[in-house]
Amino acid sequence: MRHILCSALFCLCAGTAAAGADLAISAFNSVCFKAGQTATVARDRMQQMAGTPLPFTLTFWDKTLEPAPGTPMLIERRCEVLFDGAHTPAAIEALRVQMATPPVFGFAIDLPETHDALPGTALIEGRELLRGRVAVVHVGMRGDQTFMAVDRLPAGWEAM
């Protein structure tokens, strides 16, 4: 009886972790690629999808819309989710589908000098966007958590 209870409890915990990862991945792909949103708007959109409190950590800023003191100079916009567990294959697969869905999210380019693969990186890729902008998508692990991030660099970032 004890073994059956422990097995059922493990399945429940594993299922909850997978559901949290699915929510984080879905929220990232649905919200993080939309321009013109403040941190409050991005959080509200994610909360509508995933509930309150968010079952993941959200980092978001867009310096073109509101001040973001203490953020890297050459990144004008960042959206990142960080969630429990090792889910990089699922995150990468969903990210690739999202970037290929019209309107297609730019075209792969060499990684800008503003970014490097960090320990735990599973994917990092530069993307050429419209109006001279560049984005960097990044998926990896930080300790026992998976992260998905997209940074947007301003037009003319190379000359800054």
Domains of the chain, residue spans: 16-159
Beta pairing partners, 145: 84, 142
More confident residue, 6 or 126: 126
Mean pLDDT of the chain: 88
Q: Which structure tokens are listed for 11?
A: 């399945």
Q: Which structure tokens are listed for 71?
A: 């953020």
16-159 classified as CATH 1.10.3470: no
More confident residue, 100 or 158: 100
Q: How many residues can be counted in the chain?
A: 160
Query: Which stretch of 18-22, 76-80, 111-115, 142-146 has the lowest confidence by average pLDDT?
Result: 18-22
Angle between helices 2-31 and 88-100 (to 10 degrees): 30
In this prediction, residue 158 has a pLDDT band, given cuts at 50, 70 and 90, of confident
More confident residue, 4 or 90: 90
Contact 81, 27 (CB under 8 A): yes
pLDDT surpasses 70 at 8:
no
pLDDT at 18: 65
pLDDT surpasses 80 at 14:
no
CA–CA distance, 94 with 119 (Å, rounded to integer): 22
CA–CA distance, 10 with 134 (Å, rounded to integer): 43
In this prediction, residue 2 has a pLDDT band, given cuts at 50, 70 and 90, of very low
For CA atoms 98, 100, 105, 110, the dihedral sign is positive
DSSP state of 74: T
**Angle, CA 78 vertex, CA 88 and CA 123 arms, to 5°:** 25
pLDDT surpasses 70 at 9:
no
